[in-house]
């Protein structure tokens, strides 16, 4: 069984339209013949065929759109959606920021969220350590903006003052009232760094 991809749709729509036009033209020729019994009905039939072809093509477009690896609303396990996000987006973050994003997970009985990443290029990734760039996590559903909590005698729950190549690091965000739920979509911002539509695991 072969899957329909968005790249297939232009050709399919063109084929459906061409077939419908040929049907209308054929019916029009039949209308001119003396033996044609229902010329008006035939023309209307061709018009209906054309309309039906367009509706089917638009339906296919909507159907294929639901298979976007990142943005599709789905009943899939959030872990599968998060893996699809990483597969699709991480090459960009590696080139631009020198990190692979490992994900966002609920921790501490869902009262906190852990944003975890793997450092590939410490020089590119150094902005994530900038203490003047405050990290924020924004929940897509509610618009709630969550910050990094500061603990007495500890300070902000951010790891390290320098990076080592090949190591994992994390940032902890508070989840007041447990507003962010498993499977939700969030955006992480740290200065100019921005990771959108991360799926919470």
At how many degrees (to 10) do helices 9-32 and 39-65 cross?
Answer: 180
SS3 content of the chain, % helix, strand, coil (to 5): 40, 25, 30
pLDDT of residue 2: 45
Position 120 scores a pLDDT of 96
Would you state the pLDDT for residue 13?
A: 47
- For the chain, the residue count is 201
Task: Give the predicted TM-score (pTM) of the model.
Answer: 0.61
pLDDT in tens, the chain (201 residues): 444 444 554 455 455 555 545 554 555 455 445 443 334 444 454 555 545 554 444 444 444 443 444 444 457 899 999 999 999 999 999 999 999 999 999 999 999 999 999 999 999 999 898 888 899 999 999 999 999 987 655 555 555 678 899 999 999 999 999 999 999 999 999 999 999 999 999
Beta strands in the chain, from DSSP E residues, in sequence order: 99-107, 112-119, 135-139, 145-147, 150-151, 155-156, 168-174, 185-190, 193-199
The pLDDT value recorded for residue 196 is: 96
pLDDT number for residue 92: 95
The sheet carrying 99-107 orders its strands as 99-107, 112-119, 168-174
Q: What pLDDT score was predicted for residue 177?
A: 94
pLDDT at position 132, please? 85
Determine contact, residues 78/200, Cβ cutoff 8 Å: yes
Which 8-state DSSP code applies to residue 157? S
């Amino acid at each position: 069984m072969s899957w329909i991809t968005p790249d297939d749709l232009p050709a399919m729509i063109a084929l459906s339209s061409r077939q419908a036009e040929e049907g209308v033209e054929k019916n029009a020729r039949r209308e001119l013949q003396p033996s044609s019994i229902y010329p008006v009905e035939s023309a209307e039939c061709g018009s209906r065929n054309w309309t039906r072809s367009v509706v089917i093509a638009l339906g296919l477009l909507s159907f294929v759109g639901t298979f976007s690896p990142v943005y599709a609303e789905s009943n899939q396990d959030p872990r599968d959606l998060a893996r699809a996000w990483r597969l699709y987006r991480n090459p960009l973050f590696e080139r631009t920021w020198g990190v692979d994003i490992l994900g966002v997970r609920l921790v501490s009985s869902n009262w906190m969220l852990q944003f975890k990443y793997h450092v590939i290029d410490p020089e590119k990734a150094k902005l994530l350590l900038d203490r003047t760039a405050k990290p924020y996590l924004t929940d897509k559903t509610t618009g709630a903006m969550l910050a990094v909590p500061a603990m007495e005698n500890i300070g902000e729950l951010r790891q390290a003052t320098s990076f080592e190549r090949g190591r994992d690091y994390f940032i902890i965000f508070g989840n007041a009232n447990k507003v962010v739920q498993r499977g939700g979509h969030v955006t992480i911002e740290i200065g100019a760094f921005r990771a959108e539509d991360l799926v919470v695991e």
